[in-house]
Amino acid sequence: MFYWIQIVGVLAFSMSGALTAMNKRMDAFGIFIIAFVTALGGGTLRDVLIGKTPVSWMEDLTYVNLVVAGFFLAIIFRKKLEYLRVSFFLFDTIGLGVFTLIGLEKGINIGLHPVICVAIGTMTACFGGVIRDILCNEIPVIFRKEVYATICIMGGILFFILRKFNLNEDILYLITSSFIISIRLLAVQFKWALPAIQHK
Amino acid sequence: MFYWIQIVGVLAFSMSGALTAMNKRMDAFGIFIIAFVTALGGGTLRDVLIGKTPVSWMEDLTYVNLVVAGFFLAIIFRKKLEYLRVSFFLFDTIGLGVFTLIGLEKGINIGLHPVICVAIGTMTACFGGVIRDILCNEIPVIFRKEVYATICIMGGILFFILRKFNLNEDILYLITSSFIISIRLLAVQFKWALPAIQHK
Amino acid sequence: MFYWIQIVGVLAFSMSGALTAMNKRMDAFGIFIIAFVTALGGGTLRDVLIGKTPVSWMEDLTYVNLVVAGFFLAIIFRKKLEYLRVSFFLFDTIGLGVFTLIGLEKGINIGLHPVICVAIGTMTACFGGVIRDILCNEIPVIFRKEVYATICIMGGILFFILRKFNLNEDILYLITSSFIISIRLLAVQFKWALPAIQHK
């Protein structure tokens, strides 16, 4: 099941990237690249920083195929995606939960400190969007509004707390991702945001 | 001969980077860095993603020396480069063909799937320009207009099709790079462009 | 002593990053990330390019803790930092000298050519600021004005010249960092700048 959710995550992220690029009037190549980095950029950055090379998408074509699928889905359904806004947002949120867990797991596997694992999980989930925004010449949206990364960090902390209780791994994953997904839904519903802190 | 063409490619790319930076009113250091990333950024990204570290320019000073040469040539001849526009564009186009081949070869050498090799070739040829545009605070030009990356992708596909026929390697290289260079010249001549796909 | 100065460097760089982010009206997460990349981005890029992975801050929590400390210090004292401008500038300048030396040393340790070591030292000291400026959607300040990177390059060259005289290593470090710090102070005092070179 974890595997299928991961597929939904990559698809959702690449569609969300493609839509952003279309709004920037990019050509087909630009749209594809933005879809690609939104979906796989966070994981690629993670792989490079922990030294897992060649990076994951070079060794398993599934990732690239999913991005290609997301790219075409976004182009075909671009007129209708407004109506699909809610299901779309749900996919993106599921992706957030799943990608955080994937990152956490990779950090644990190579024996890094929990604090660093949480950072890696957050990076996997959120930094594709950061690279997307940089390529689109904007200040990354997660630096300015919406709690997004913060929820991944909270989810990661919850994960390590629960882990002390020797829970079954599947249950641990289920609780953590449900937590991230629920808080994200609540955050958007009630417009929670971190305070901006101004210099003067 | 391949080696000499590579030299022309690095020189042309670093001069093209230096000119872009001058138009942004950067100082000498900024101009040098932009020349550097335009010429070597794509290959550096490739090396990092496939895990070939220290990256190539750290182990062979030739690359850095060529960028330095391109930097000074661009500064000295900056008034005259308008007249040299055509030969300059030719160098850049030759660079495009050669860099694609270098990337393809590196991917094949570490046993990656042809689709990934094509991606690596395109990255080697085109992503120095992407990094240049990001550092200059612009949306990368290859995401918006001109077929550029698309030609590298087509060249890469041609390479793998021809490879099935057991051609001599030199001939294979010659055909692929000639193809990329010719299509690029035609594309600019006739103003071919990928369609921009808009959301609404 | 070298160790303590390094701590001052990371603290100063992360505070300077946090202040920049506050001026951009970022939220708390954005401010933290900008503080992080300003302080550790140059070293992270260096580690990735030379293949030292997992990157340093993943294996020694001290770095992350220092960034957290710098982040809170900047928020708490944000109203008073105007009065602290001079001491703040001093810290930043000390960081510049120390980070250059750290980079030089890492390059020497893996047997790279002096020219590349100087590049690595400069990258360690200056490219955190470059990544900060990119994330804040600005053309990197060190590409446009102030001699900053140039001083690191000069310091690196001095280091390799002095090294031929078989000086004690501590003295070598002290002279190089003092040189970088003094020239930087003089440069700001007298508003030295590299010439901008324009295309037309």
d(C-alpha B73, C-alpha B68), whole Å: 9
Find out whether A56 and B177 touch, Cβ atoms under 8 Å. no
- Which candidate from B112, B143, B198 shows the least CB-CB separation from A33? B143
Q: Do A110 and C54 touch (CB under 8 A)?
A: yes
Q: Is the peptide bond before A54 cis (omega within 30 degrees of 0)?
A: yes
Which residues, 6+ apart, have CB-to-CB distance to B24 below 8 Å? B30, B34, B136, C139
Which residues, 6+ apart, have CB-to-CB distance to C153 below 8 Å? C118, C122
- pLDDT, position C110: 92
Q: Do C30 and A140 touch (CB under 8 A)?
A: yes
| pLDDT tier for residue B170 given thresholds of 50, 70 and 90 | confident
- Kindly state whether residue B194 falls inside one of the protein's structural domains: no
Other residues' Cβ atoms within 10 Å of the Cβ of residue B199: 17
Residue B32 to chain A, least CA–CA distance (Å): 22
Task: Report yes or no: B51 at the A interface, CB cutoff 8 Å.
Answer: yes
- Substitution target in A58, A66, A71, A82 with the highest count of B β-carbons within 10 Å is A58
Considering only CA atoms, which of B83, B88, B41, B98 is closest in space to residue B188? B88
Which residues, 6+ apart, have CB-to-CB distance to C52 below 8 Å? C46, C106
d(C-alpha C198, C-alpha A8), whole Å: 50
pLDDT digits (tens, 9 = 90+) for C10-39: 988 898 888 888 888 888 899 999 999 999
Q: In which residue are the tokens 């969300």 written? A: A16
- Kindly state whether residue B198 falls inside one of the protein's structural domains: no
Q: Do C61 and A116 touch (CB under 8 A)?
A: yes
Q: Is the peptide bond before C195 cis (omega within 30 degrees of 0)?
A: no
Task: Report yes or no: A126 at the B interface, CB cutoff 8 Å.
Answer: no
Query: What is the domain range of residue C181?
Result: 2-189
Query: In chain B, what residues touch C191 (CB-CB under 8 Å)?
Result: none
pLDDT digits (tens, 9 = 90+) for C152-164: 999 999 999 999 9
Strand partners, C27: A196
Residue C49 to chain A, least CA–CA distance (Å): 10
| pLDDT tier for residue B89 given thresholds of 50, 70 and 90 | confident
d(C-alpha B23, C-alpha B3), whole Å: 31
Task: Report yes or no: C34 at the A interface, CB cutoff 8 Å.
Answer: yes
- pLDDT, position A200: 52
Task: Report yes or no: C51 at the B interface, CB cutoff 8 Å.
Answer: yes
- pLDDT, position B91: 74
- Kindly state whether residue B195 falls inside one of the protein's structural domains: no
Q: What is the mean pLDDT of residues C165-170?
A: 85
| pLDDT tier for residue B58 given thresholds of 50, 70 and 90 | very high
Whether pLDDT at B41 is above 90? yes
Q: Do C49 and B51 touch (CB under 8 A)?
A: no
Strand partners, B196: A27
Task: Report yes or no: B22 at the C interface, CB cutoff 8 Å.
Answer: yes
- pLDDT, position A81: 67
SS3 state of residue A27? strand
Whether pLDDT at B123 is above 90? yes
- Kindly state whether residue B182 falls inside one of the protein's structural domains: yes
Whether pLDDT at C134 is above 80? yes
Q: Do A50 and C58 touch (CB under 8 A)?
A: yes
- pLDDT, position C193: 72
**ipTM attached to this prediction:** 0.87
- Kindly state whether residue C198 falls inside one of the protein's structural domains: no
Q: Do A134 and C136 touch (CB under 8 A)?
A: no
Q: Do C27 and A116 touch (CB under 8 A)?
A: no
Q: In which residue are the tokens 């099935």 written? A: B164
Question: From A18, which residue of chain B is nearest by alpha-carbon distance?
Answer: B199
Q: Do B51 and C51 touch (CB under 8 A)?
A: yes
| pLDDT tier for residue C92 given thresholds of 50, 70 and 90 | confident
For residues C154, C156, C162, C166, the Cα torsion angle rounded to the nearest 10 degrees is: 180
- Kindly state whether residue C194 falls inside one of the protein's structural domains: no
Question: From C49, which residue of chain A is nearest by alpha-carbon distance?
Answer: A48
Whether pLDDT at C5 is above 80? no
Task: Report yes or no: B134 at the C interface, CB cutoff 8 Å.
Answer: yes
- Kindly state whether residue B94 falls inside one of the protein's structural domains: yes
Whether pLDDT at B63 is above 70? yes
Cα→Cα distances A149→A50, A121, A128, B41, C151, Å: 20, 10, 12, 29, 37
- pLDDT, position A93: 85
* Ranges of residues in chain A whose predicted pLDDT is under 70: 1-2, 81-85, 87-88, 146, 198-200
Considering only CA atoms, which of C85, C94, C67 is closest in space to residue C177? C94
Give the total number of structural domains in chain A.
1
- Kindly state whether residue B78 falls inside one of the protein's structural domains: yes
Q: What is the mean pLDDT of residues C175-200?
A: 81
C111's tokens: 């047997």
Q: Do C199 and B22 touch (CB under 8 A)?
A: yes
- B 141-200 residues with CB < 8 A to C: none
Strand partners, B27: C196
Other residues' Cβ atoms within 10 Å of the Cβ of residue B200: 7
